[in-house]
Amino acid sequence: MPQLARKLRVTDYFTLGWGTMVGVGWLVIMDDWLLRGGSLGTVLGFAIGSALLFPIGWVYGKLVMAMPDAAGEVAYTSAVFPRPVSFATGWMMTLAYFIVCPWEAVAVGRIAGYIFPALDSMELYRIAGRPIFLPHLVIGLVLTALLTVLNYRGVRLSATFQNWTSFGTLALFILFIALGASRGSRRNFPPLFTHTPFVSIFLVIQIVPYFMTGFESVGKAAEEASPEFGARSFFRAIWMAIVVGAVFYGVIVAAVSFVAPWHQLIGEKFMTAVAFQRALGARWIVNIILAAALLSLFKCFNGNFVAASRLLFALGRRAMVHTRAGQIHPSYQTPSLAVLLVGLATAACMLLGDAILVPITEVGSVACAIGWSAACAACLALARRAPSGGITLSIAERSVAMFGLLVGLSMILMKIVPVVPGHFTAYEWLALGIWIALGAIAAAVRGGAVQ
């Protein structure tokens, strides 16, 4: 069988994990975050939610070292659970990555319209009361086409793009945070919580899985590691991605709350940029923030595109969906058809416009929590098989994996149990139902084994 190109290094895996995790939510829907928790509630929500993910990150590091397979959760669960469980896990994780792609394709049009207001014209239609502008669609479609071609032509091109955009984002982030910090005031922080402290923090923790999804994408490109790559480096890349992601979110929320009275800016388009502009009284700081946002958008879009296409490829290779999705391009050594399918689906979904931005945050959180829970359960099940083909875990390590499983299950329950604040509405249930139905159709039309 043709093999995927083996060209990735430790830096590439870090930028894939962190870059897939951090997009432009910190610019586009900062007001939603702060309305959930308040300034302190949101910072604590991201800090606690991120800390709860460390055991899950440890489990993924252990699993990817033992099974460097592009199938990720599909491979882990296939080793111990029935095939339907493995397919359901892989299909949910595919949603967690894929849904970010149209999110970013829509967001780039919004950012472009903020920079050039003339682009907010030529309205085509409305969804949920939100206008869909032709220039926004064109920009999103062009970016989608660019990343599709980039990933079709080779993983080294994609990784280089990911590295430049990731480190460029970090550099600009440090610059505008440092500039803004000199003009802020502690008087801007109140209200510290928008509900009771517990509810405020809880409502933020509910969305952390969506905005921290990405560290586990390292495993989806595990088959593309360079020949000299050490297996333990997978572990380091995953942990670096979680730590840097947690620090990034905590700092940006604290900075926005510090530089301007955030509660007066609710409803402003791109609240983060407006807060810094008011603090410094200059437009140029907005340009730096928007440049950082565009770079962050590109890397997040590309990282999730890579992860989604690899999972779809792995499902096709295992004949869980149509086997043509498991084909590898003979020259570029990329999962070419899976890449094209993700690109086309992204273009179709972005036609829903801004209406998809906040609801998919909720659905994506549950989808990735399902995948995380399944991975932790697979790790524990594999430990029972040791030393005959399983993973050897100490008592302490089993406790870590068990805690990760409990965290994942809790994140699922707090979104689907009706009595819990912030639970799914009819729109989220509808979106999840549509994805499950598509999965049933995909499983029904699968072909035979890939030759």
pLDDT per residue as tens, the chain (451 positions): 567 888 889 999 999 999 999 888 898 889 989 999 999 999 999 999 999 999 999 999 999 988 888 888 999 999 999 999 999 999 999 998 998 898 889 889 888 888 888 998 898 998 878 889 999 999 999 999 999 999 998 888 889 999 999 999 999 999 999 988 888 888 999 999 999 999 999 999 988 887 888 899 998 888 888 988 888 899 899 999 999 999 999 999 999 999 999 989 888 888 999 999 988 888 889 999 999 999 999 999 999 999 999 999 999 999 999 989 889 888 888 899 999 999 999 999 888 887 766 666 678 778 888 999 999 999 999 988 766 566 888 899 999 999 999 999 998 998 888 888 777 888 888 888 888 999 999 888 875 444 3
pLDDT value of residue 353? 81
Burial of 410 (0-12, 13-18, 19+ CB in 10 A): middle
Q: Token pair of 338, please?
A: 């899976």
pLDDT value of residue 418? 86
pLDDT value of residue 39? 94
pLDDT value of residue 292? 93
pLDDT value of residue 417? 86
Structural domains of the chain, ranges and CATH numbers in brackets? 10-444 (1.20.1740.10)
Nearest to 206 by CA among 386, 368, 352, 24: 368
- 350-376 per-residue burial string, b: 16 or more CB within 10 A, e: under 16: bbbbbbbbebbbbbbbbbbbbbbbbbb
**What is the DSSP code (8-state) at residue 82?**
-
Residue 127 — φ and ψ, nearest 5°?
-130, 125
Own/partner pairs for 260-268, CB < 8 Å, 24+ apart?
260/184, 260/188, 261/187, 261/188, 262/34, 262/39, 262/188, 263/34, 263/190, 263/191, 265/31, 266/31, 266/34, 266/35, 267/31, 268/31
Non-local CB neighbours of 413 within 8 Å, separated by 6+ positions = 420
- Contact between 314 and 326 under an 8 Å Cβ cutoff? The reply is yes
pLDDT value of residue 447? 56
Cα dihedral across residues 392, 398, 402, 407: positive or negative? negative
Residue 333 to residue 327: CA distance in whole angstroms:
9
pLDDT value of residue 387? 66
Three-class DSSP category at 321: coil
pLDDT value of residue 12? 93
Token pair 């803004």 in the structure block, residue? 180
Nearest to 335 by CA among 442, 447, 221: 221
- Contact between 203 and 423 under an 8 Å Cβ cutoff? The reply is no
